């Protein structure tokens, strides 16, 4: 007799996949579903060095010219759009898992930045935004004066 260990999580995963498919099918064609495009949110990493804040966003397949970056009132806003390929029709796809349409991310900056020196680059599907800290926000080392007493 062979014993098979029961794993309830595999059945829960199957149920989750079936429910996702059910809702995906049910919501197709609803108002706000403009030609199969919906608003989506790209993943972001934000980190800080001594002199700058760095924001990296995953934007594969997006023309950098379609991205708008702004800093206003200590808020970094990134907006753009991933276009559905014009040479493909929706009927020719078997499965569409990538998100298309407009996206937007906004981040409140934790420190003052020098807006005139902000740089942005795009490489291998990653948008990297470097925000140099304003001089007043940079850490300053204070020397202690020694007395001869």
Residue 13 lies inside a defined structural domain of this protein = no
pLDDT digit string, tens, across residues 51-87? 999 999 999 989 999 899 999 988 999 999 988 776 6
Residue 6 lies inside a defined structural domain of this protein = no
**Number of domains comprising the chain:** 1
List the CATH number of the domain containing 96. Answer: 2.60.40.790
Buried/exposed code over 103-125 (b: 16+ C-beta within 10 A; e: otherwise): beeebebeeebeeeebeeebeee
pLDDT digit string, tens, across residues 104-113? 999 998 888 9
Domain span including residue 55: 38-136
pTM of the model: 0.65
Residue 144 lies inside a defined structural domain of this protein = no
pLDDT digit string, tens, across residues 85-129? 766 666 777 887 888 889 999 999 888 899 999 999 999 999 999
Residue 24 lies inside a defined structural domain of this protein = no
């Amino acid at each position: 007799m062979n014993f098979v260990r029961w794993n309830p999580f595999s059945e829960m995963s199957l149920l989750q996949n079936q429910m996702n498919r059910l809702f995906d099918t049910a919501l197709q064609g609803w108002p706000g579903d403009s030609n199969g495009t919906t608003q989506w949110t790209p993943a972001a990493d934000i980190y800080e060095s001594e002199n700058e804040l760095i924001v990296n966003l995953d934007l594969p397949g997006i023309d950098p010219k379609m991205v708008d970056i702004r800093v206003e009132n200590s808020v970094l806003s990134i907006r753009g759009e991933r276009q559905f390929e014009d040479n493909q029709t929706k009927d020719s796809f078997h499965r569409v898992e990538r998100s298309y349409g407009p996206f937007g991310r906004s981040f409140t900056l934790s420190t003052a930045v020098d807006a005139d020196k902000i740089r942005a680059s795009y490489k291998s599907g990653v948008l990297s935004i470097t925000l140099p800290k304003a001089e007043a926000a940079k850490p300053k080392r204070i020397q202690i004066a020694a007395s001869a007493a």
